[in-house]
Structure 1
């Protein structure tokens, strides 16, 4: 393999997850591995005619001690989720909540879809009740840059900040871009991931497409009927291994490869053969420099829709066939977290890293009867397994496809060097 094609290993030194299973990485992981029931009926507004659809809500969010109650209440829910995730990730990495020194210059690579749509909906309710008594300040929170700007200001992140709006692959794209920035020496550290909040627009939109499962999603099940809409946030602290070592940080794992392609096929439907999704997977694995047989677990995108799950099954089978390795154990965790759209890639990256760190594979919850057409080695219940490398796949509207490879140790490169010119 040409060493120029290899991905520069990037250390993950901090990690967070806020999900329907818990308001911390520890609680979320405990709920996921226990296949905890986290779905609840949507009840934000009885007049929205959405009926008893089940959603994966994070519930009430605890206010950080340093944020006044009035400020906290004024924030969009995407900002609140991102704030909690940023606090946990920075603490996990052994970093102060406020950075800003030149030696701590950190980039921010963040993804969202709905931005501050909950505040826009609040404004609409006010206007509907009394047009003369509306709070126009609410409209500021809908701006896409607001969530990015708030996190950067709060933590004094003085590196570049980039917002990704590529829907369900957004936070995977954010992680890949952050790794590239570090590998090229443009930043020393980065905070990367995604945040997404439930709102009427998101739920109504997917319900109008008849893509919401009335009783919760069932990824790869023969009777699957659609997605479960969820919310959450996850952030990774990323840095070069040399920078992590210099400050005495202990890596949780390493990002080893990233692949991204586009079907260029349809605005919502995946390209049926899965050839471009497979290309993203093979690119990530080959770029990692790892042996395909090192991959011990796949976290599938697995939304629970008929077309997407079938395409993903074809893509994964084709990719590992091309790589000359059997498909490793895999599961979709979306029954447990809901589909968190722009946050999905980061939440599922955190799940992959936890699978390696704890030696537990999470279950493909919601499966009653496996679709024989998918023919995948699904993990039906949590089980112990030592995995040295894992793969996370995400696919999105517009035909966007991503794959991320993580490893437990940076030395798992079978003697292949990192990319020339990049920091160690």
Structure 2
């Protein structure tokens, strides 16, 4: 028999704040964290803005030796995991370590390590001994497990911008079908560096708008690309029976997951929205609900021309006329695109939206166009009772993921 899967802890390191509450309060205020890039000299770059994590000291979350054996993407993940585990009240001394797993993934790993070691090699003909274990994307999951002694399932899902959502989906399935009692899951990224920004800029994926208030404006007629962000969102999910047995406080219930591939193009979503739309349909089928029961969608909403148009088509494909009654927004309007970290941060947003009955504004966006005629929560946030919330993420390569969370009821 399948287990019910519940959320018992959440942690976030974001450009709006380095805790879930700071992040959520920032979203409620509706002001973007977009600002001039400080992590490298961007004076000669066409792209001058990013959403950077601020006032973050890894040593507030780990000892110096541990910190030195990680790159920023893993620092963010371990810090977010610490908050989530502490909120959940999970005590590994009371757990079978082989029943507690970790899937916290990065879409890229450390581009900073690549940059640094390339320079070192060209100058001295040497590479630092720790280059590979610092750089590879699975080290977020690995370091969380090492820190807490979690010996169960430990993998790293890499599907570009859908990385975090697919990680949570796989963790959800592991708990649902009894392969684990508890999973620490989510995503992380730290690609605000020269090669990260210039790489996306070369694809013409990034906004060249120099106004921090409007650089990221998902679903707006004047959108011109995404603003790169960084950070991590991590959740503790576990079976309802396990959570109940240990007296955990349950925040929400994960009820559906859909994953598909467009099999169409390496960077563009399918133009008719069918791939992403089918992921939404599959998630609703698993949740056992009708399209009319979804109250809120946290859209992928990157602020690129293709994504926002084709994602709108995908939502119409999945929901038909019921989409007219659903509140939609994009968290990326305020924290930029956290890439592999987006899925974790945006599912946390869904849980907080359910708890507070609040749909944050899609900041910076004012007027849509043509087919993009849905309720994207422009101008003002709204208060709304939310029972079911969906979050969508679409990754380069045509990777689609949809997750559904529900207001918890015994």
Question: Could you tell which deviates more after superposition, 291-300 or 156-165?
Answer: 291-300
Between the aligned partners of 1:66 and 1:276, the Cα distance in structure 2 is 40
After superposition, give the CA deviation of every residue in 1:91-143 in whole Å (9 maximum; x if it has no partner).
110124x5584178311112212212212222234445x41676343343112
Contact 1:114 1:202 survives alignment (8 Å): no
Residue of structure 2 aligned with 1:53, choices 48, 51, 59: 48
| Partner residue in 1 for 2:141 | 148
Structure 1 residue 371, shift from structure 2 partner: 2.1
* Mapped partners of 2:236, 2:141: distance in 1: 16
Choose which of 29, 32, 44 in structure 2 pairs with 1:34: 29
Question: Cα distance, 1:211 vs. partner?
Answer: 1.2
Kindly provide the CA deviation profile for residues 279-313 of structure 1, in whole angstroms up to 9, marking residues without a partner as x.
11111112201243221111000111111110011
Distance 1:409 1:75 in 2: 36
Q: For 1:107, what is the secondary structure of its paired residue?
A: strand
- Aligned partner of 1:339 among 320, 323, 337: 337
Tell me whether 371-380 or 26-35 shows the greater mean CA deviation.
371-380
Q: Take 2:42 and 2:366, find their aligned partners in 1: how far apart are those partners? A: 33
- The answer on whether the counterparts of 2:31 and 2:363 sit within 8 Å (CA) in structure 1 is no
Report 1:116-155 matches (<5 A): 116-128=110-122, 130-131=123-124, 135-155=128-148
CA contact (8 A) 1:100 1:158 kept: no
> 1:115 aligned to 2:109?
yes
Q: Which residue of 2 aligns with 1:418?
A: none
In the alignment, the residues of structure 1 paired with residue 287 and residue 225 of structure 2 have an alpha-carbon distance, to the nearest angstrom, of 33
Question: Is residue 175–residue 238 contact of structure 2 (8 Å, CA) maintained in 1?
Answer: yes
Aligned counterpart, 1:417: none
Partner of residue 275, structure 1: 274
The total of aligned residue pairs comes to 403
- Whole-Å separation in 2 of the counterparts to 1:151 and 1:52: 34
In 2, the alpha carbon distance for the partners of 1:76 and 1:22 equals 20
User: What is the CA distance between 1:212 and its match in structure 2?
Assistant: 0.6
Contact 2:358–2:382, Cα closer than 8 Å, also in 1: yes
Counterpart in 1 of 2:176?
183
Deviation digits for residues 159-206 of structure 1, max 9, x if unmatched? 110101111111111111111111111111101101100232221111
* Residue of 145, 154, 162 corresponding to 1:161: 154
Which structure 2 segments of 5+ residues have no match? 210-214
Provide closer, same or farther for how the CA distance between residues 117 and 99 of structure 1 changes in structure 2, counting only shifts above 3 A: farther
- Distance between the aligned counterparts of 1:157 and 1:100, measured in 2? 12
Q: What TM-score, normalized to structure 2? A: 0.92
Distance 2:246 2:268 in 1: 46
**Within 1, Cα distance between the matches of 2:139 and 2:175?**
24
In 2, distance between residues paired with 1:234 and 1:123? 28
SS in 1 for 2:271: coil
- Separation (CA, whole Å) in 1 of partners of 2:201 and 2:401: 25
Q: 2:105–2:138: 8 Å Cα contact kept in structure 1?
A: no
8 Å CA contact 1:108, 1:192 repeated in 2: yes
Whole-Å Cα distance in 1 between the matches of residues 230 and 369 of structure 2?
Answer: 27
Which one is further off, 308-317 or 31-40? 31-40
CA RMSD of aligned residues (A): 2.1
- The residue correspondences of 1:291-370 to structure 2 (distance < 5 A) are 291-321=290-320, 326-370=324-368
Q: Distance in 2 between matches of 1:52 and 1:220?
A: 20
